[in-house]
Amino acid sequence: MPSFLLVRFSFSKTIGQNHGMNGTEYQTAVRNEPLSRRSFLGVLLGFGSVVVGSALAIPLIRVALHPLLSKTTETGWSDVGKADEFASITGPIKKLITVEQRDGWRKIVSEKAVYVLPAKDGAMRVLSPICPHLGCSIPWVEAKQQFVCPCHNAIFGVNGARVGGPAPRAMDDLECKIDNGMLKVRYQYFRQLIPTKEVLA
Amino acid sequence: MADARNSESLGKRCYNWLDQRTGLGSLMHEALDEPIPGGARWAYVFGSVLLFLFISQTVTGIFLALYYVPTADHAHTTVAYIVKEVTGGSFLRSLHAWGSSAVVIVLILHLTQTFLYGAYKGRREVLWISGCALFGLMLAMAFTGYLLPWDQKAYFATTVGTNMASEVPWIGSMLKRFMRGGNEMGTLTLSRFFVAHVFILPAIILGFIASHVYLFRKAGAAGPPSEHPIEPKLPTERFYPKQVLMDTAVALIMICVLGLLSHFYPTELGPQANPADTQYVPRPEWYYLPIFQWLKYFKGPLAVVGIVVIPALTAVLILALPFIDRRLERRPWKRPIAVGIYFAILGTLITFGLLSKREDRLDPAIAKQVAKQNEETEQFMRAPFEPEAAASSLSAPAVVVALDPVAAAGKKVYDAESCDACHGENGVGTNVGPKLAGATAQKSAEELTKLLRHPTEKMLAGEMKAVNVSDEELKALVAYIKSLK
């Protein structure tokens, strides 16, 4: 006789009919059972439930944590223009770039302005036009050869250095590179009103 | 007294504390000590496994909803995102899809076991009917869930499925329009199917599961076929621990099988639904193939017989089974006619399913088209995820500006005057300046011109200064602002 059937039989005998048992009788029945087997089965069951539960929970947790597990969705590189185009400029040039940002399953394409500065020692510089004071866009004033913020008159020099007004620091440099003869820039926002440049997430 | 209490373990004391406040003990007693005449058996696991699968479908479904959007223009993109980008997303979606097939298989096993054991006999009519209702509701879940990815096969299979509803006499066309939310399949169809799939049907199913379990407990476990259905005589064994253990073991096997299938055979997503495609050969999921094949035999005015009359009669026959078969004899070998009919129906369904596969294979035109569709699906699956351009993106205003030279000149003024500093790119607004697109852009050109030259007190207070440009530039600027939508 297979042991499996034996187990069932001995079980049935120990417990018998338990239709209509009251609480005390039930307790007695539980105590009279071969405890070791009952607790062994209990442990087995607990183990089984934990395995089933975690087998299901792990894929759920992975999916829920996707935004944390995937690579940071930092903005990529945007084309500014051919590097040659900026080889012989004498002052800041305003360029509009398209910035593509990922928002989950969407992409948001927006147009941003940047200033390309004349190259110094072969190194290109690209400035963010956003005032480090309160975030207005700063126009280049050709007549004064200065950047003058229209909001609170913060003034910056031709290289973006702070000249006067309420701004706490110079205009912010954007990370840029030349790739296959194309000037590319990584558009970012920086925290305002503080003396050091700090990227906003 | 104090000593006695201290001698109890902490765990026991916590349990007692909770028990006194919640009645947890009697609840567990009620749930786990159900007597089973004749003891635990592997044949009894299917009900619990179905419950487990329902829970699994619910939680996987909820987590899929984290990334899913039920509208015709986003559904396919978001499912593609789940499949191609989300960490473990394809695996989760496959678990959900394979899970739906598992539900149908275990439902058939549960039904077959109940039928062979004659476990519907002896004051179990209502229990049987609630089980039949659950079967139907689960098939409805499969039908509504199938549309949600909004790919070619989902779209065309549901087009056929909803067309079938129009064969119902008198109310058919109304029923079809009700299901679709209009005459044609579209975004309203998707909304309806989504709401049915995630809110309405699950709520009804929960109610029926509760009643099914309650009625099962009320009638008592039927035990083996030799047992009397109303007054069981065999010695009983409680549900806990052995039956619970068997149920858990099968649930564990189930989740392992689903996991392996999902890993090695992930559910694919085809190209986005294209209603203009006239070549597409729609084929339903395997569990609907028998009815699909069945319908081929009813042409023209006979369609109503195939689609409505015979299925309805079959449903009534199945529902009424415990009323028709009133003998208390449960042993299958003593009920040859009932068992014979059951297997005849099951055999017919399987034959129809296989026939449909065979016909598709033998018809060269269909085989070719099906192969092409499979190739298109493979192609789509290989392609990288293509994010959807957001409506607020550059494109819309950029197009307007490109088409209108005056507005284009106005945009230059807008940028030169640093209007975007406060009003944002394309007048979308920032936290320091209001949005121009929309209500502002609706004002008349004269009014806008006047406001720009002479800002109101409120505007001045908000640091909006008078615009100091030539009349021509101002005209262009106004044209640009008016172009912002």
pLDDT tens per residue, range A94-119: 888 888 878 889 888 777 889 998 88
pLDDT band at A93 (very low <50, low <70, confident <90, very high): confident
Please give the share of chain A, as a percent, with pLDDT higher than 90.
Answer: 12
Q: Which residues of B77-104 are buried (b: 16+ CB within 10 A; e: fewer)?
A: bbbbbbbbbbbbbbbbbbbbbbbbbbbb
DSSP code of residue A165: S
Residues in chain A with CB shorter than 8 Å from the CB of B60 are: 56, 59-60
Q: Which of A60, A66, A150 sits opposite B59 (nearest CB)?
A: A60
- Residue B130 vs residues B143, B211, B318, B320: alpha-carbon distances, Å: 20, 7, 12, 12
Q: Give Cα B416 to chain centroid, integer Å.
A: 52
| Matching residue, tokens 């205009």 | A171
**Burial (CB count <10 Å: 0-12, 13-18, 19+), residue B133:** middle
Element (H, E) at A140: strand A140-141
Distance separating alpha carbons of residues A158 and A138, to the nearest angstrom: 12
Distance from A7 to chain B by nearest Cα, in Å? Answer: 10
Which domains are present in chain A?
3-68 (no CATH), 78-186 (2.102.10.10)
Strand B388-389 to A106-120 pairing: parallel
Is B236 in Cβ contact with A19 (below 8 Å)?
Answer: yes
CATH superfamily of B38-382: Cytochrome Bc1 Complex; Chain C (1.20.810.10)
State the pLDDT at residue A97: 86
According to DSSP, residue B73 is labeled T
CB A70 within 8 A of CB B85: yes
**A70 contacts: CB under 8 Å, gap ≥ 6:** B85, B87
Contact A55 B256 (CB under 8 A): yes
Nearest-by-Cβ selection for B237 from A12, A59, A70:
A12
Q: What is the pLDDT of residue A119?
A: 83
Which residues of chain B does A33 touch, with a Cβ-Cβ cutoff of 8 Å? none
Q: Residue B73: what pLDDT?
A: 93
Which residue does chain B place closest to A7, by CA atoms?
B242
Contact A41 B35 (CB under 8 A): no
Q: What is the interface pTM, i.e. ipTM, of the complex? A: 0.75
Q: Closest Cα partner for B258 from B44, B52, B47?
A: B52
Please work out, in degrees rounded to the nearest 5, the angle formed at the alpha carbon of residue B14 by the alpha carbons of B11 and B20. 135
Q: What is the pTM of this model?
A: 0.77
* pLDDT surpasses 60 at A122: yes
What CATH number does the domain located at B395-483 have?
Answer: 1.10.760
Domain ranges of chain B: 1-32, 38-382, 395-483
C-alpha A70: how far from chain center: 8
Between B187 and A6, the higher pLDDT residue: B187
User: Which of A12-21, A166-175, B345-354 is the most confident on average?
Assistant: B345-354
Work out the pLDDT band at A9, boundaries 50, 70, 90: very low
Query: What's the pLDDT at B146?
Result: 96
pLDDT score, position B40? 94
Please, are residues B248 and B32 in contact by the beta-carbon 8 Å criterion?
no
Write the residue in A44, A62, A107 that is nearest to B87 by C-beta.
A62
Q: pLDDT tens digits for A17-55?
A: 444 444 444 444 444 555 577 778 888 888 888 998 998
348-377 in B: which are within 8 Å (CB) of A? none
The type of residue at B230 is I
CA distances in angstroms from B11 to A174, B8, B14, B20, B204, listed in the order given: 61, 8, 5, 14, 38
Distance, in Å, from the CA atom of A150 to the CA atom of A154, rounded to the nearest integer, reads: 8
Torsion of Cα atoms, B359 then B360 then B362 then B367, to 10°: 170
CA atoms within 13 A on the CB side of B173: 2
Band (pLDDT 50/70/90 cuts) for residue A73 is low
pLDDT (tens digit, 0 to 9) for every residue of chain B, 485 residues total? Answer: 445 555 678 989 999 999 999 999 898 888 888 999 999 999 999 999 999 999 999 999 999 999 999 999 999 999 999 999 999 999 999 999 999 999 999 999 999 999 999 999 999 999 999 999 999 999 999 999 999 999 999 999 999 999 988 888 899 999 999 999 999 999 999 999 999 999 999 999 999 999 999 999 999 999 999 999 999 999 999 998 899 999 999 999 999 999 999 999 999 999 999 998 889 999 999 999 999 899 889 888 888 888 889 889 999 999 999 999 999 999 999 999 999 999 999 999 999 999 999 999 999 999 999 999 999 999 999 999 988 887 665 544 554 555 567 777 888 888 778 787 778 777 877 767 788 877 777 788 888 888 888 888 888 887 788 888 888 888 888 888 887 76
- The span from the CA of B153 to the CA of B293, in Å, is 17
